[in-house]
Amino acid sequence: MRPAPFDYVAPTTIEEVVALLAEHGEDAKIVAGGQSLIPMMALRLARPAVLVDIGGVDSLQHVGPGSIGAGVTQATLEREAPHPLLAEVLPLIAHPAIRNRGTIGGSIAHADPAAELPAVALLCDAELVARGPAGERVIAAVDFFESYLTTALAPDEVLTEIRFPTHHRTGFAFREVSRRHGDFALVGAGARVTVDRAGDVVDQRLVFIGVGSTPVIAEDASELEPSDDVHATAAYRKHVAGVLARDVLLTARSRA
């Protein structure tokens, strides 16, 4: 199928992006790499009247130890990963052709519950910076993901930056199970483990993907309530989540 008719604009500054979103409201959609939105438009599951291409906004392209611009591609991060968890997770995302175009901000803002990067944001306690007509606001990752493909971003806001805090004496790990490499995960699990100077665990977090309408923070897999679908049963997902949870917790502990 072909997308429904739409207007296309390619601003070069965040100020232009915000002005366009304020002008067109919910009729506008932001596109960065287009790896999520364009297929939905082709199926007419999304029908924006105006497509705002932010690929030419240079201020969204920075990569630093604690901050990544939302427009940075996954392939760039795979080469320059400023965080050990990103280095582990990025090769699991789709295929090189997808990572060459897909962006970190696009994946997080799209909020697919089986996607890896939203889980990374939760595991790292990332701060997500949004820009709108009222200015800039910072949203904690735990408050960002609201439901399936739904976030705390307002229709007139654009995600501009992902900030990663520093974690001392902390290890991270992530594993997933999919039908084939590059497919969306049937189930995935990530862990963060922090130890004190004596080596005792003082904090840990588990995040699961593919088991709910958002990435899920849980104490263990027994708390999960996945659903059946054509790809896997709820019982299978829960069992695999438990196996992955043990693996990532032990691995993260060894890295702390």
Residue 181 is predicted with a pLDDT of 87
CATH number of the domain where residue 125 is located: 3.30.465.10
The last residue of a domain, from among 163, 184, 219: 163
The last residue of a domain, from among 131, 148, 163: 163
End-to-end CA distance of the chain: 49
Sheet holding 67-69, edge to edge: 67-69, 158-163, 127-132, 135-140
Domain check: are 40 and 85 in the same one? yes
CATH number of the domain where residue 236 is located: 3.30.390.50
Structural domain count, the chain: 2
What is the tens place of the pLDDT at every residue in 62-93? 999 899 999 999 999 999 989 999 999 999 99
Residue 182 is predicted with a pLDDT of 85
Question: Over 135-182, what HEC string results?
Answer: EEEEEEHHHHEEECCEECCCCCCEEEEEECCCCCCEEEEEEEECCCCC
Whether residue 32 is contained in a domain is answered as yes
Q: Which two tokens stand for residue 220?
A: 């263990």
What is the tens place of the pLDDT at every residue in 2-34? 888 999 999 999 999 999 999 998 899 999 988
Domain check: are 83 and 147 in the same one? yes
Domain check: are 249 and 147 in the same one? no
Alpha-carbon distances of 214 from 44, 67, 77, 228, rounded to whole Å: 23, 23, 23, 16
Cα atoms found within 13 Å of the Cα of residue 91, Cβ hemisphere only: 8
Domain check: are 60 and 135 in the same one? yes
The last residue of a domain, from among 163, 182, 217: 163
Sheet holding 216-217, edge to edge: 170-177, 187-195, 201-209, 216-217
Instruction: Judge contact between 83 and 10, C-beta under 8 A.
Output: no
Domain check: are 137 and 67 in the same one? yes
In this structure, the number of other CB atoms found within 10 A of the CB of residue 197 comes to: 7
Domain check: are 136 and 176 in the same one? no
pTM for the full model? 0.94
Domain check: are 38 and 128 in the same one? yes
Domain check: are 159 and 174 in the same one? no
Which residues of the chain have a pLDDT value below 70?
none
The parent domain of residue 25 ranges over 7-163
Residue 50 is predicted with a pLDDT of 95
Residue 145 is predicted with a pLDDT of 98
Cα–Cα distance between 96 and 200 in angstroms, integer?
A: 39
Whether residue 1 is contained in a domain is answered as no
Q: Which two tokens stand for residue 21?
A: 């979103």
Whether residue 28 is contained in a domain is answered as yes
Cα–Cα distance between 253 and 256 in angstroms, integer?
A: 5
